A = this chain, B = another copy of it.
Amino acid sequence: MSKSNILNNRTKENHCFSSLSKEFVANYHKIFNEVVDEALARIPYLHSIEIKNRIKKMAGYYALVEKPILAELFLIAYEMLEEPNNYNEVKKRQAYTLACVMEMCSCYFLIIDDMEDDSKIRRGKQCWHLLPDAGSSVCNDTCMLRSFIYELLLLNFPQTEGSKIIAYVNQIYFLSAVGQHLDMLTSEKQNYKNFTMDQFKKIAELKTSFPAIHSPIILALILANKDSKEAKQQVHDVCNDIGIFVQIKNDLMDLYSSNESDLKSSTDIQKGKCSWLAVKALEMCNIEQRRIFQDNYGNWDESCVRKIQELYDTLKLQEIYENEKQTQHENLIRKINELPPNAIPSADNYKKLISLMEKFQLA
Protein backbone atom coordinates (compact mmCIF):
# COMPACT_ATOMS: atom_id res chain seq x y z
CA MET A 1 0.00 0.00 0.00
CA SER A 2 1.31 3.44 -0.91
CA LYS A 3 2.62 5.57 1.94
CA SER A 4 0.67 8.48 0.59
CA ASN A 5 -2.74 6.92 1.05
CA ILE A 6 -5.44 8.32 3.26
CA LEU A 7 -4.78 6.07 6.23
CA ASN A 8 -1.19 7.22 6.51
CA ASN A 9 -1.56 10.77 5.33
CA ARG A 10 -0.09 12.94 8.07
CA THR A 11 -1.52 16.28 7.03
CA LYS A 12 -2.64 18.84 9.52
CA GLU A 13 -6.29 18.24 8.74
CA ASN A 14 -5.99 14.53 9.46
CA HIS A 15 -4.72 15.26 12.92
CA CYS A 16 -7.88 17.11 13.76
CA PHE A 17 -9.56 14.55 16.02
CA SER A 18 -13.15 15.67 15.61
CA SER A 19 -12.99 15.33 11.83
CA LEU A 20 -12.41 11.58 12.13
CA SER A 21 -15.94 10.54 11.22
CA LYS A 22 -16.39 13.30 8.63
CA GLU A 23 -13.20 12.33 6.83
CA PHE A 24 -14.24 8.68 6.92
CA VAL A 25 -17.66 9.34 5.42
CA ALA A 26 -16.22 11.65 2.75
CA ASN A 27 -13.65 9.02 1.72
CA TYR A 28 -15.57 5.88 2.64
CA HIS A 29 -15.08 3.83 -0.52
CA LYS A 30 -11.40 4.66 -0.75
CA ILE A 31 -10.74 3.84 2.92
CA PHE A 32 -12.82 0.65 2.78
CA ASN A 33 -10.99 -0.62 -0.28
CA GLU A 34 -7.60 0.24 1.21
CA VAL A 35 -8.39 -1.57 4.46
CA VAL A 36 -9.53 -4.66 2.54
CA ASP A 37 -6.69 -4.63 0.01
CA GLU A 38 -4.02 -4.17 2.63
CA ALA A 39 -5.28 -7.09 4.72
CA LEU A 40 -5.69 -9.35 1.68
CA ALA A 41 -2.08 -8.61 0.76
CA ARG A 42 -0.80 -9.29 4.27
CA ILE A 43 -2.46 -12.63 5.09
CA PRO A 44 0.56 -14.90 4.62
CA TYR A 45 -1.29 -18.06 3.61
CA LEU A 46 -3.70 -16.51 1.12
CA HIS A 47 -2.39 -16.71 -2.44
CA SER A 48 -5.23 -17.19 -4.94
CA ILE A 49 -6.16 -14.02 -6.81
CA GLU A 50 -9.61 -15.46 -7.55
CA ILE A 51 -10.24 -15.90 -3.83
CA LYS A 52 -8.97 -12.43 -2.96
CA ASN A 53 -11.26 -10.91 -5.58
CA ARG A 54 -14.22 -12.88 -4.29
CA ILE A 55 -13.65 -11.83 -0.68
CA LYS A 56 -13.31 -8.20 -1.73
CA LYS A 57 -16.47 -8.36 -3.80
CA MET A 58 -18.39 -9.95 -0.94
CA ALA A 59 -17.07 -7.60 1.77
CA GLY A 60 -18.33 -4.56 -0.11
CA TYR A 61 -21.36 -6.08 -1.80
CA TYR A 62 -23.93 -4.41 0.45
CA ALA A 63 -21.48 -2.27 2.43
CA LEU A 64 -20.59 0.07 -0.41
CA VAL A 65 -24.06 0.85 -1.75
CA GLU A 66 -25.35 2.87 1.18
CA LYS A 67 -24.04 5.39 3.67
CA PRO A 68 -22.00 3.57 6.34
CA ILE A 69 -24.37 4.32 9.20
CA LEU A 70 -22.98 1.82 11.71
CA ALA A 71 -19.44 2.94 10.98
CA GLU A 72 -20.32 6.62 11.39
CA LEU A 73 -22.19 5.98 14.63
CA PHE A 74 -19.17 4.09 15.97
CA LEU A 75 -16.71 6.80 14.90
CA ILE A 76 -18.77 9.59 16.43
CA ALA A 77 -19.09 7.61 19.68
CA TYR A 78 -15.32 7.09 19.61
CA GLU A 79 -14.70 10.82 19.03
CA MET A 80 -16.81 11.50 22.12
CA LEU A 81 -15.07 8.91 24.27
CA GLU A 82 -11.36 9.04 23.42
CA GLU A 83 -9.03 11.28 25.40
CA PRO A 84 -7.42 13.73 22.94
CA ASN A 85 -3.98 12.89 24.40
CA ASN A 86 -4.35 9.23 23.51
CA TYR A 87 -5.41 9.90 19.96
CA ASN A 88 -2.79 9.30 17.27
CA GLU A 89 -2.35 7.90 13.76
CA VAL A 90 -2.35 4.29 15.01
CA LYS A 91 -5.65 4.84 16.81
CA LYS A 92 -7.06 6.49 13.72
CA ARG A 93 -6.13 3.53 11.56
CA GLN A 94 -7.63 1.15 14.13
CA ALA A 95 -10.82 3.20 14.32
CA TYR A 96 -11.17 3.11 10.53
CA THR A 97 -10.47 -0.62 10.47
CA LEU A 98 -13.14 -1.25 13.08
CA ALA A 99 -15.57 1.03 11.25
CA CYS A 100 -15.08 -1.04 8.09
CA VAL A 101 -15.33 -4.30 10.05
CA MET A 102 -18.73 -3.23 11.38
CA GLU A 103 -19.99 -2.70 7.84
CA MET A 104 -18.54 -6.07 6.76
CA CYS A 105 -20.14 -7.91 9.68
CA SER A 106 -23.43 -6.32 8.74
CA CYS A 107 -22.90 -7.48 5.15
CA TYR A 108 -22.16 -11.01 6.44
CA PHE A 109 -25.53 -11.13 8.16
CA LEU A 110 -27.46 -9.57 5.33
CA ILE A 111 -26.15 -12.32 3.03
CA ILE A 112 -27.15 -15.05 5.50
CA ASP A 113 -30.54 -13.55 6.35
CA ASP A 114 -31.46 -12.98 2.71
CA MET A 115 -30.59 -16.59 1.92
CA GLU A 116 -32.68 -17.84 4.83
CA ASP A 117 -35.60 -15.52 4.05
CA ASP A 118 -35.25 -16.16 0.32
CA SER A 119 -35.25 -12.40 -0.27
CA LYS A 120 -34.79 -11.14 -3.80
CA ILE A 121 -33.54 -7.56 -3.57
CA ARG A 122 -31.50 -5.74 -0.93
CA ARG A 123 -30.34 -2.14 -1.10
CA GLY A 124 -31.39 -2.08 -4.73
CA LYS A 125 -29.16 -5.05 -5.63
CA GLN A 126 -29.92 -8.66 -6.41
CA CYS A 127 -29.38 -10.65 -3.21
CA TRP A 128 -25.99 -12.37 -2.97
CA HIS A 129 -27.40 -15.92 -2.91
CA LEU A 130 -29.16 -15.24 -6.23
CA LEU A 131 -25.97 -14.31 -8.08
CA PRO A 132 -25.11 -16.91 -10.73
CA ASP A 133 -21.81 -17.79 -9.05
CA ALA A 134 -23.17 -17.93 -5.49
CA GLY A 135 -26.16 -20.23 -5.01
CA SER A 136 -25.40 -23.10 -2.69
CA SER A 137 -21.92 -21.75 -1.93
CA VAL A 138 -23.28 -19.00 0.34
CA CYS A 139 -22.26 -20.84 3.53
CA ASN A 140 -18.75 -21.29 2.23
CA ASP A 141 -18.61 -17.67 1.07
CA THR A 142 -19.69 -16.35 4.46
CA CYS A 143 -17.18 -18.69 6.11
CA MET A 144 -14.42 -17.04 4.04
CA LEU A 145 -15.69 -13.55 4.80
CA ARG A 146 -15.80 -14.23 8.53
CA SER A 147 -12.32 -15.76 8.47
CA PHE A 148 -11.09 -12.72 6.59
CA ILE A 149 -12.63 -10.29 9.10
CA TYR A 150 -10.86 -12.18 11.89
CA GLU A 151 -7.48 -11.87 10.12
CA LEU A 152 -8.15 -8.19 9.46
CA LEU A 153 -8.63 -7.58 13.19
CA LEU A 154 -5.59 -9.68 14.06
CA LEU A 155 -3.42 -7.66 11.68
CA ASN A 156 -4.54 -4.29 13.01
CA PHE A 157 -4.70 -4.67 16.78
CA PRO A 158 -2.16 -5.63 19.44
CA GLN A 159 -2.93 -8.87 21.25
CA THR A 160 -4.78 -7.72 24.38
CA GLU A 161 -6.98 -5.16 22.65
CA GLY A 162 -7.38 -7.45 19.64
CA SER A 163 -8.55 -10.37 21.77
CA LYS A 164 -11.15 -8.18 23.45
CA ILE A 165 -12.47 -6.90 20.13
CA ILE A 166 -12.45 -10.35 18.53
CA ALA A 167 -14.35 -11.75 21.52
CA TYR A 168 -16.94 -8.99 21.22
CA VAL A 169 -17.28 -9.45 17.47
CA ASN A 170 -17.82 -13.18 18.07
CA GLN A 171 -20.62 -12.25 20.46
CA ILE A 172 -22.19 -10.13 17.71
CA TYR A 173 -22.08 -13.10 15.32
CA PHE A 174 -23.43 -15.46 17.95
CA LEU A 175 -26.31 -13.34 19.23
CA SER A 176 -27.38 -12.17 15.78
CA ALA A 177 -27.51 -15.78 14.61
CA VAL A 178 -29.46 -16.79 17.71
CA GLY A 179 -31.91 -13.96 16.98
CA GLN A 180 -32.25 -15.02 13.37
CA HIS A 181 -32.91 -18.60 14.45
CA LEU A 182 -35.55 -17.64 17.02
CA ASP A 183 -37.16 -15.37 14.42
CA MET A 184 -37.30 -18.23 11.93
CA LEU A 185 -38.54 -20.69 14.56
CA THR A 186 -41.33 -18.40 15.76
CA SER A 187 -42.51 -17.78 12.19
CA GLU A 188 -42.31 -21.38 11.07
CA LYS A 189 -44.36 -22.82 13.87
CA GLN A 190 -47.28 -20.51 13.01
CA ASN A 191 -48.40 -20.92 16.58
CA TYR A 192 -49.85 -17.49 17.30
CA LYS A 193 -49.78 -18.11 21.04
CA ASN A 194 -46.03 -17.49 20.70
CA PHE A 195 -46.60 -14.13 18.99
CA THR A 196 -46.24 -12.16 22.21
CA MET A 197 -44.70 -8.73 22.76
CA ASP A 198 -42.08 -10.44 24.95
CA GLN A 199 -41.06 -12.79 22.16
CA PHE A 200 -40.98 -9.91 19.66
CA LYS A 201 -38.75 -7.90 22.00
CA LYS A 202 -36.44 -10.85 22.63
CA ILE A 203 -35.90 -11.32 18.89
CA ALA A 204 -35.53 -7.56 18.28
CA GLU A 205 -32.97 -7.30 21.06
CA LEU A 206 -30.85 -10.06 19.51
CA LYS A 207 -31.31 -9.24 15.84
CA THR A 208 -31.33 -5.45 15.97
CA SER A 209 -30.57 -3.86 19.31
CA PHE A 210 -27.38 -5.74 19.94
CA PRO A 211 -25.68 -5.63 16.51
CA ALA A 212 -26.92 -2.22 15.32
CA ILE A 213 -27.32 -0.07 18.44
CA HIS A 214 -25.20 -1.48 21.27
CA SER A 215 -22.23 -2.62 19.22
CA PRO A 216 -21.07 0.74 17.76
CA ILE A 217 -21.01 2.22 21.27
CA ILE A 218 -19.44 -0.81 22.98
CA LEU A 219 -16.71 -1.05 20.34
CA ALA A 220 -16.02 2.67 20.78
CA LEU A 221 -15.74 2.08 24.54
CA ILE A 222 -13.26 -0.77 23.94
CA LEU A 223 -11.13 1.27 21.53
CA ALA A 224 -11.09 4.21 23.96
CA ASN A 225 -10.18 1.77 26.75
CA LYS A 226 -13.26 2.75 28.77
CA ASP A 227 -15.11 -0.54 28.55
CA SER A 228 -15.75 -1.08 32.25
CA LYS A 229 -18.47 -3.53 33.24
CA GLU A 230 -20.60 -0.60 34.46
CA ALA A 231 -20.25 1.35 31.21
CA LYS A 232 -21.26 -1.69 29.15
CA GLN A 233 -24.23 -2.43 31.40
CA GLN A 234 -25.36 1.18 31.06
CA VAL A 235 -25.18 1.01 27.27
CA HIS A 236 -27.37 -2.06 27.49
CA ASP A 237 -29.90 -0.39 29.78
CA VAL A 238 -30.16 2.81 27.75
CA CYS A 239 -29.96 1.37 24.25
CA ASN A 240 -32.07 -1.74 24.42
CA ASP A 241 -35.36 0.08 23.99
CA ILE A 242 -33.94 2.02 21.06
CA GLY A 243 -33.07 -1.19 19.26
CA ILE A 244 -36.50 -2.62 19.85
CA PHE A 245 -38.05 0.55 18.51
CA VAL A 246 -35.81 0.41 15.45
CA GLN A 247 -37.16 -3.10 14.81
CA ILE A 248 -40.75 -1.86 15.15
CA LYS A 249 -39.96 0.82 12.61
CA ASN A 250 -38.32 -1.75 10.30
CA ASP A 251 -41.46 -3.87 10.48
CA LEU A 252 -43.63 -0.89 9.54
CA MET A 253 -41.26 0.07 6.75
CA ASP A 254 -41.34 -3.49 5.42
CA LEU A 255 -45.02 -3.09 4.76
CA TYR A 256 -45.65 0.58 4.18
CA SER A 257 -42.66 1.69 2.18
CA SER A 258 -41.78 -1.35 0.13
CA ASN A 259 -44.45 -0.65 -2.47
CA GLU A 260 -42.87 2.68 -3.24
CA SER A 261 -39.44 1.40 -4.17
CA ASP A 262 -37.78 -1.87 -4.98
CA LEU A 263 -34.97 -1.40 -2.46
CA LYS A 264 -36.23 -4.31 -0.39
CA SER A 265 -39.19 -6.53 -1.11
CA SER A 266 -41.91 -6.85 1.55
CA THR A 267 -42.52 -10.40 2.73
CA ASP A 268 -43.20 -10.35 6.49
CA ILE A 269 -46.90 -11.21 6.11
CA GLN A 270 -46.27 -13.94 3.55
CA LYS A 271 -43.59 -15.57 5.70
CA GLY A 272 -45.68 -15.36 8.86
CA LYS A 273 -43.04 -13.30 10.68
CA CYS A 274 -43.46 -12.43 14.34
CA SER A 275 -43.45 -8.72 13.45
CA TRP A 276 -44.58 -5.89 15.71
CA LEU A 277 -47.61 -5.41 13.44
CA ALA A 278 -48.66 -9.06 13.81
CA VAL A 279 -48.14 -9.08 17.57
CA LYS A 280 -49.97 -5.77 18.06
CA ALA A 281 -52.82 -6.89 15.82
CA LEU A 282 -53.22 -10.11 17.83
CA GLU A 283 -53.19 -8.09 21.06
CA MET A 284 -55.99 -5.84 19.81
CA CYS A 285 -58.27 -7.85 17.58
CA ASN A 286 -61.67 -9.31 18.46
CA ILE A 287 -62.67 -12.93 17.83
CA GLU A 288 -63.75 -12.29 14.25
CA GLN A 289 -60.58 -10.32 13.44
CA ARG A 290 -58.45 -13.04 15.02
CA ARG A 291 -60.10 -15.58 12.73
CA ILE A 292 -59.25 -13.39 9.72
CA PHE A 293 -55.66 -13.20 10.96
CA GLN A 294 -55.34 -16.95 11.47
CA ASP A 295 -56.92 -17.76 8.11
CA ASN A 296 -54.73 -15.40 6.10
CA TYR A 297 -51.40 -14.83 7.85
CA GLY A 298 -48.30 -16.62 6.58
CA ASN A 299 -49.73 -17.08 3.10
CA TRP A 300 -48.31 -16.00 -0.27
CA ASP A 301 -51.73 -15.65 -1.86
CA GLU A 302 -52.23 -11.97 -2.75
CA SER A 303 -55.79 -11.81 -1.47
CA CYS A 304 -54.65 -13.18 1.90
CA VAL A 305 -51.91 -10.55 2.11
CA ARG A 306 -54.46 -7.84 1.28
CA LYS A 307 -56.82 -9.04 4.03
CA ILE A 308 -54.03 -8.79 6.60
CA GLN A 309 -53.12 -5.30 5.37
CA GLU A 310 -56.78 -4.28 5.68
CA LEU A 311 -56.87 -5.69 9.21
CA TYR A 312 -53.79 -3.63 10.12
CA ASP A 313 -55.50 -0.54 8.66
CA THR A 314 -58.75 -1.20 10.53
CA LEU A 315 -56.79 -1.52 13.77
CA LYS A 316 -55.02 1.78 12.98
CA LEU A 317 -51.60 0.29 13.72
CA GLN A 318 -49.72 3.15 12.08
CA GLU A 319 -51.43 5.62 14.40
CA ILE A 320 -50.65 3.44 17.41
CA TYR A 321 -47.04 3.32 16.31
CA GLU A 322 -46.84 7.13 16.17
CA ASN A 323 -48.23 7.42 19.71
CA GLU A 324 -45.94 4.72 21.09
CA LYS A 325 -42.99 6.37 19.39
CA GLN A 326 -43.69 9.59 21.25
CA THR A 327 -44.02 7.81 24.62
CA GLN A 328 -40.92 5.75 23.98
CA HIS A 329 -38.90 8.85 23.15
CA GLU A 330 -40.01 10.58 26.35
CA ASN A 331 -39.16 7.49 28.43
CA LEU A 332 -35.75 7.31 26.84
CA ILE A 333 -34.94 10.96 27.55
CA ARG A 334 -36.13 10.52 31.15
CA LYS A 335 -33.86 7.46 31.53
CA ILE A 336 -30.91 9.41 30.15
CA ASN A 337 -31.56 12.41 32.40
CA GLU A 338 -31.46 10.07 35.39
CA LEU A 339 -27.94 8.83 34.56
CA PRO A 340 -25.26 9.63 37.17
CA PRO A 341 -23.07 12.66 36.33
CA ASN A 342 -20.01 10.44 35.78
CA ALA A 343 -21.78 8.16 33.30
CA ILE A 344 -19.72 6.99 30.31
CA PRO A 345 -20.94 7.94 27.73
CA SER A 346 -22.39 11.02 29.43
CA ALA A 347 -26.09 11.94 29.27
CA ASP A 348 -25.26 14.67 26.75
CA ASN A 349 -23.37 12.25 24.55
CA TYR A 350 -26.22 9.74 24.68
CA LYS A 351 -28.59 12.48 23.53
CA LYS A 352 -26.27 13.36 20.65
CA LEU A 353 -26.04 9.70 19.63
CA ILE A 354 -29.82 9.37 19.69
CA SER A 355 -30.40 12.43 17.57
CA LEU A 356 -27.82 10.99 15.20
CA MET A 357 -29.79 7.74 15.05
CA GLU A 358 -32.89 9.80 14.30
CA LYS A 359 -31.03 11.67 11.58
CA PHE A 360 -30.04 8.31 10.09
CA GLN A 361 -33.72 7.36 10.35
CA LEU A 362 -32.68 4.50 12.60
CA ALA A 363 -34.68 5.50 15.67
Interface residues of A (CB under 8 A from B): 45-46, 48, 50-51, 54, 111-113, 115-116, 118, 133, 136-144, 146-148, 150-151, 154, 159-160, 162-163, 166-167, 170-171, 173-175, 177-178, 180-182, 184-185, 188
Contact A139 B116, CB 8 Å, known A146-B146, A154-B167: yes
Roughly how many angstroms separate A116 CA and B175 CA in the complex, as a whole number? 25
**Chain B residues whose C-beta falls within 8 Å of the C-beta of A48 in the assembled complex:** 178, 182
**Chain B residues whose C-beta falls within 8 Å of the C-beta of A184 in the assembled complex:** 137, 140
**Chain B residues whose C-beta falls within 8 Å of the C-beta of A115 in the assembled complex:** 136, 139
Once the chains bind, are B144 and A174 in contact (CB under 8 Å)? yes
Q: List 9 A-B contacts (CB under 8 A).
A: A45-B171, A46-B178, A51-B178, A51-B181, A113-B140, A116-B140, A140-B181, A142-B143, A144-B174
Roughly how many angstroms separate A144 CA and B185 CA in the complex, as a whole number? 15
Roughly how many angstroms separate A248 CA and B98 CA in the complex, as a whole number? 42
Once the chains bind, are B174 and A46 in contact (CB under 8 Å)? yes
Roughly how many angstroms separate A163 CA and B159 CA in the complex, as a whole number? 8
Roughly how many angstroms separate A151 CA and B151 CA in the complex, as a whole number? 17
- Of B54, B150, B167, which contacts A170 at CB under 8 A? B150
